[in-house]
């Protein structure tokens, strides 16, 4: 098999017993005849590899859909057969990992953030929402940095407890060179207030990388307030709050399906959402506005531990 083979995955969807895989295989000067999806020696589905591919200029894409009550990703092989009888195969696990790696590689927000952190002047880092839920700690991403893990409740990987709406009450002005947050902004009752607090504790020219959700079910209720598109970030981080947006990114495509069918929702499942929404921002100067309302006066209960 030619080592120059270019295999790519566009979608790998499983919804109950339904599976749909789209992607392509390109080998210069060669033609792929057919794809077989094989599990434990049995063929689950076949499909031609003949759909247009604007990137490669030839028909090298495929789309295969099938129903299987016993589908097991760990035992699946995608077997491609060439016109000359040669074959190329990829395991189901490899195909999924390739897609996930491609998504990570496309997130220029995160890539640029960590690239800039390797240059001088980005030593003091604050992570908002650092608690190691499910024992996931990101402290190791900031080796050789002055890292502080900040969260609203105590727990593993929390150095300081506090509310992101009141960062200025815990830290002095220009305390940090960089800030980082994963899956936290959806839990901020007033993210516009947090934007102003971030401005206070981040130095001029400092960077921040925030990633949250665009399409995801409610969780950690009642403190689940918002979902973010890629264009929403400009409403929070702009010249009035003292920032400029450098990059935005939307993660894996997702769809929502009603639990109970109703004609009113027919076709809505084709509207694509995204798993995550990320932004890379840079502080340009002091904020030109204020928001002095105490968030505790308008929220109910406390964040679930």
Q: How far is Cα of residue 211 from the mean position of the Cα atoms in its chain?
A: 7
Question: What whole-number distance in Å separates Cα of residue 296 and Cα of residue 274?
Answer: 31
Q: What is the structure's pLDDT at 1?
A: 45
Say what the pTM is.
0.83
Q: How far is Cα of residue 236 from the mean position of the Cα atoms in its chain?
A: 19
pLDDT of residue 151 exceeding 50: yes
Which SS3 state, helix, strand or coil, does residue 191 take? Answer: helix
Beta carbons within 10 angstroms of residue 236's beta carbon? 22
Q: What is the structure's pLDDT at 3?
A: 58
What are the tens digits of pLDDT across the range 189-248?
Answer: 999 999 999 999 999 999 999 999 999 999 998 999 999 999 999 999 999 999 999 999
Question: DSSP per residue over 79-124, as a string?
Answer: EEEETTS-EEEEEHHHHHHHHHHHHHHH-HHHHHHHHHHTSTT--E
Pick the CATH number of 6-102 from 1.10.540.10, 2.40.50.1070, 3.90.1150.10, 2.60.40.10: 2.60.40.10
Residues 100-116: what's their mean pLDDT? 89
Measure Cα distances from 232 to 38, 205, 229, 299 in Å. Answer: 43, 22, 5, 22
Nearest to 135 by CA among 151, 149, 156: 156
What are the tens digits of pLDDT across the range 162-190?
Answer: 999 999 999 999 999 999 999 999 999 99
Q: What sign does the dihedral 156-162-165-171 (CA atoms) show? A: negative
- Contact call for residues 67 and 39 (beta carbons, < 8 A): no
Question: What whole-number distance in Å separates Cα of residue 170 and Cα of residue 193?
Answer: 15
The confidence band for 66, taking pLDDT boundaries of 50, 70 and 90, is very high
Residues 13-18: what's their mean pLDDT? 90
What are the tens digits of pLDDT across the range 215-225?
Answer: 999 999 899 99
Which CATH code is given to the segment(s) 107-297?
3.40.50.150
Where does the chain hold its CATH 2.60.40.10 domain(s)? 6-102
**Torsion, Cα of 33, 34, 40, 41 (10° steps):** -60
Measure Cα distances from 200 to 120, 135, 246 in Å. Answer: 21, 30, 19
Residue where the block lists tokens 């496309």: 106
Each as own residue / partner, the long-range contacts of residues 229-234 (CB below 8 Å, 24 or more positions apart, any chain) are 229/277, 230/277, 230/279, 232/277, 233/277, 233/279, 233/281
Exposed e or buried b per residue across 110-141, where buried means at least 16 C-beta atoms within 10 angstroms of its C-beta: bbebeebbeeeebebbbbbbbbeeeeeebbee
Local structure of residue 185 (DSSP, 8 states): G
The confidence band for 259, taking pLDDT boundaries of 50, 70 and 90, is confident
Rounded to the nearest integer, the mean pLDDT of the chain is 92
Where does the chain hold its CATH 3.40.50.150 domain(s)? 107-297
The confidence band for 304, taking pLDDT boundaries of 50, 70 and 90, is confident
What are the tens digits of pLDDT across the range 278-292?
Answer: 999 999 999 999 999
Measure Cα distances from 260 to 14, 256, 265 in Å. Answer: 19, 12, 10
């Amino acid at each position: 098999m030619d080592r120059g083979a270019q295999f790519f995955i566009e979608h790998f969807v499983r919804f109950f017993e339904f599976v749909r895989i789209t992607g392509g295989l390109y080998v210069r000067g060669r033609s792929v005849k057919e794809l077989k999806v094989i599990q434990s020696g049995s063929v689950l589905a076949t499909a031609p590899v003949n759909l247009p591919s604007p990137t490669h200029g030839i028909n090298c894409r495929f789309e295969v859909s099938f129903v299987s009550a016993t589908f097991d990703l760990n035992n699946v092989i995608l077997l491609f057969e060439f016109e000359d009888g040669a074959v190329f195969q990829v395991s189901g696990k490899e195909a999924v990992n390739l897609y996930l790696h491609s998504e990570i590689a496309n997130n220029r927000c995160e890539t640029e953030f960590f690239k800039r952190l390797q240059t001088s002047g980005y030593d003091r880092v604050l992570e908002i929402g650092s608690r190691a839920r499910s024992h996931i700690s990101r402290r190791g991403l900031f080796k050789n940095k002055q890292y502080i893990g900040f969260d609203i409740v105590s727990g593993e990987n929390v150095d300081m407890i506090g509310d992101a709406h009141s960062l200025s009450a815990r830290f002095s002005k220009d305390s940090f060179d960089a800030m980082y947050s994963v899956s936290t902004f959806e839990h901020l009752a007033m993210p516009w207030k947090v934007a102003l607090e971030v401005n206070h504790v981040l130095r001029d020219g400092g960077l921040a990388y925030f990633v949250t959700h665009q399409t995801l079910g409610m969780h950690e209720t009642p403190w689940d307030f918002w979902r973010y598109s890629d264009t929403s970030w400009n409403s929070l981080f702009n010249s009035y709050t003292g920032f400029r947006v450098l990059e935005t990114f939307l993660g894996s495509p997702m769809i929502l399906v009603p639990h109970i069918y109703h004609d009113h929702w027919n076709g809505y499942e084709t509207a694509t959402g995204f798993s995550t929404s990320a932004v890379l921002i840079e502080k340009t100067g002091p904020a030109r506005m204020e928001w002095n309302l105490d968030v505790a006066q308008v929220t109910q209960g406390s964040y679930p531990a």
